[in-house]
Structure 1
Amino acid sequence: MPLSDLRFLALNAWLKRIFNADVTPTLISGDASFRRYFRVQHKDISYIVMDSPPELIKVLPFVNLANAYSDKGVDVPQVIEVNAEDGFLLLSDLGDIQLLSVLNSDNVYAYYRDALRLLDKVSLVIDNGESGLPLYDAAFVQLELDIFSDWLIKRHLVIELDEKTQNMLKTAFSFLIENVEAQPKVGMHRDYHSRNLMLQNEQLKVIDFQDAVLGPVTYDAVSLLRDCYVRWPDALVEQLMTQHFEQVKSSGQLDRGVSIATYTRWFDLMGLQRHIKAAGIFSRLKYRDDKPAYMADIPLTLEYIRDISARYPELEIFSAWIADSIIPAVEAKL
């Protein structure tokens, strides 16, 4: 890292005080936020260091949630040292193997089955030990949906929406918000997918949980099964979706009177809302945060949006607009 990187210099000084020795942090990644992650080695033990500028993202919410998840039996990074003032954390190292990197048609069912079972524990985290998790309510969802309009449609595609299209989007988004409000609420990871599940000694470990909320029972399941970064056959998704349906009924998180048809509708529309949000966020990452790599993931999110919305008469016009106007416009700018 350049010597002009003052945060990196401060990080090095902090690590030297902890280990009482010089160590060499190696940048391993930034995520879709303002955080950076480094790996350090000391006495043959590997650690992860989080660098999170405190004026942008404070570290204590991560620490509190890590403890809350651990208390419920979810394997997450152990917090070893905390420097809240400067925004540094020393964490245990869960390795480099993202679940996505090992998935194939032969093993995806078994891994996703286990990941769905893990949601039984994830969903029990409804507070961070100090206060309840934020509620994923109508206002929260509207803000997320607006990211699509503001960053993908207006900023990236430079499309000015006429009044008719604005009204169409308002109707479609209201329909999706009603779906959120109709569902039972559980502890929700909010970004539960194959890049945020690590494999260590063939055990699933969970990362990137710091934005957890209290939200719809289908959210994390559809986030996993209709992953923004990979698409699996519908028959497989439906099989695993049914497993989660039975799972949450058995746990009492879903009333036994709720039918599979109702659950499927909740699941489909929840995934649709997530993909709309994701398409907007991927664009915002490029233009606001100078992280253009995520733009390559927009076409898959739009395919999901087109295909799933076409299943519902209330969204047929929206689906056609995505298919006829938005997908061609995005492809033209690739």
Structure 2
Amino acid sequence: MPQADTAKRFDALRRWVAESHSLPVDAFDLQLAAGDASFRRYFRLALPDGTTRMLMDAPPDQEDSRPFVEIARRWRAGGLPVPALHAVDLDAGFLELDDLGDTPLQNCFADDHHAATLDWHDRALDMIHELQNRAGPHDLPPYDATLLGRELALFPDWCLREWLGMPELPPGWSALRDALIASALAQPVVTVHRDFDAMNLMVHGERLYLIDFQDAVAGPISYDPISLLRGRYCRFPPERFAAWVEAFRQRAVADGRLPHAISAEAFLHQAQAMAAQRALKVLGIFCRLTLRDGREGYLQRLPHFLCHLEESLAGLPGHEAFHGWLIATFRPALEARLVAEGIESGARP
């Protein structure tokens, strides 16, 4: 957004707060708190009585805040830990929310093997169970074959063609694409946050809260667990990943979200396929954010998700051609391009 437009929206936001709270425009403090990968910005509001709130500025011509508002109200009514809405103006694109502080979950992690890191992941997985049990998938858009395919297309379109200049589809791509979509559609349908990564979980008063849930869909039961376990901040050994997936399966079977007939091996295969789909999507999205939207800091994360992708494919027999291309062709090309960009990632297989 041009600087002049940004200033105009900030002034409009300040006037909106003043009117909402019946205060003069200079009677409160308003400071930029954060931005994200969309056009949304967040400001911390400090009121004269010491109360603080978080304000979302979501330009309505670029961001539709209606899904966020509708989901927040439904989930909060269902007892889920989401921020309360104190004021909403969808026409202006302004929302006033609970202030959940400045501690996203990743700030609580030590190294990948530290007991505190593992414990926080256990607690986050508990929240996924709570989400799936308390929030029905009705009224959410379907995570269907069209959406899954569109997400997968981000990898050849943006990562290969636009960023790496590799116009040809990789060997085995069509078969892999079809298999990943089929695996996702074979799973029970639940409420899916769709970006259940540590950055979208806030730690406030030692409790976890959900944020950035506006893209929630009705989709595969394994999607949110793998978003967490193969997310931005940690890489866990295969045996640790498999143990978490199996514990999730057992609990989901016990409360009826998964059929008793699904074996540990079958569910782990579905989780690996879901993780591969998400890693491919993320590789494409991060390149698109860089090239189309001019965002910084995303290319550095590509090797991390490439490692996730390689680990996921290692658990999916039948896709050796694509897996071999990934190691022999794609990884060297990606690393060479990062060097040319002056970026060091440090992520290795």
TM-score normalised by L of structure 2: 0.90
Task: Find out whether 1:65 has 2:71 as its counterpart.
Answer: yes
Q: 1:13 aligns with which of 12, 15, 20?
A: 15
Q: Which residue of 2 aligns with 1:328?
A: 332
Conserved? CA contact 1:196–1:208, under 8 Å: yes
Deviation at 1:168, TM superposition (A): 2.2
Q: Which residue of 2 aligns with 1:120?
A: 129
Q: 1:297 aligns with which of 298, 301, 314?
A: 301
Note the alpha carbon deviations across 1:280-314, whole angstroms, 9 max, x for none: 10111111111121111111111111222133232
Q: 1:173 aligns with which of 177, 185, 194?
A: 177
Q: Which residue of 1 aligns with 2:97?
A: 91
Deviation at 1:272, TM superposition (A): 0.8
Distance change (3 Å), C-alpha of 1:2 and 1:290: closer
Deviation at 1:3, TM superposition (A): 6.0
The CA RMSD over aligned residues, in Å, is 1.6
Deviation at 1:126, TM superposition (A): 3.0
Conserved? CA contact 1:116–1:221, under 8 Å: yes
Conserved? CA contact 2:272–2:316, under 8 Å: no
Any idea what SS the aligned residue of 1:195 has? helix
Q: 1:81 aligns with which of 78, 87, 98?
A: 87
Note the alpha carbon deviations across 1:170-221, whole angstroms, 9 max, x for none: 1111110010111111111111011111111111111111100000011101
Q: Which amino acid aligns with 1:89?
A: L
Task: Find out whether 1:132 has 2:132 as its counterpart.
Answer: no
Any idea what SS the aligned residue of 2:228 has? helix
Counterparts of 1:27 and 1:324, CA distance in 2: 44
Deviation at 1:109, TM superposition (A): 2.4
Any idea what SS the aligned residue of 1:255 has? coil
Any idea what SS the aligned residue of 1:210 has? coil
Listed as ranges, the gaps of 5+ residues in structure 2 are: 339-349
Q: 2:155 aligns with which of 135, 148, 154?
A: 148
Deviation at 1:2, TM superposition (A): 5.9
Counterparts of 2:316 and 2:69, CA distance in 1: 41
Q: Which residue of 2 aligns with 1:240?
A: 244
Counterparts of 2:258 and 2:18, CA distance in 1: 50
Q: Which residue of 2 aligns with 1:210?
A: 214
Q: Which residue of 2 aligns with 1:28?
A: 33
- In the TM superposition, structure 1's runs of 4+ consecutive aligned residues that sit over 3 Å from their partners are 1-4
Task: Find out whether 1:256 has 2:260 as its counterpart.
Answer: yes
Note the alpha carbon deviations across 1:72-109, whole angstroms, 9 max, x for none: 22111111001111101011111111111111312122
Q: Which residue of 2 aligns with 1:41?
A: 46
TM-score normalised by L of structure 1: 0.94
Aligned residue pairs total 328
Counterparts of 2:139 and 2:252, CA distance in 1: 21
Greater displacement, 100-109 / 136-145:
100-109
Conserved? CA contact 1:133–1:214, under 8 Å: yes
Note the alpha carbon deviations across 1:49-80, whole angstroms, 9 max, x for none: 10111112122211110111112221111110
Listed as ranges, the gaps of 5+ residues in structure 1 are: none
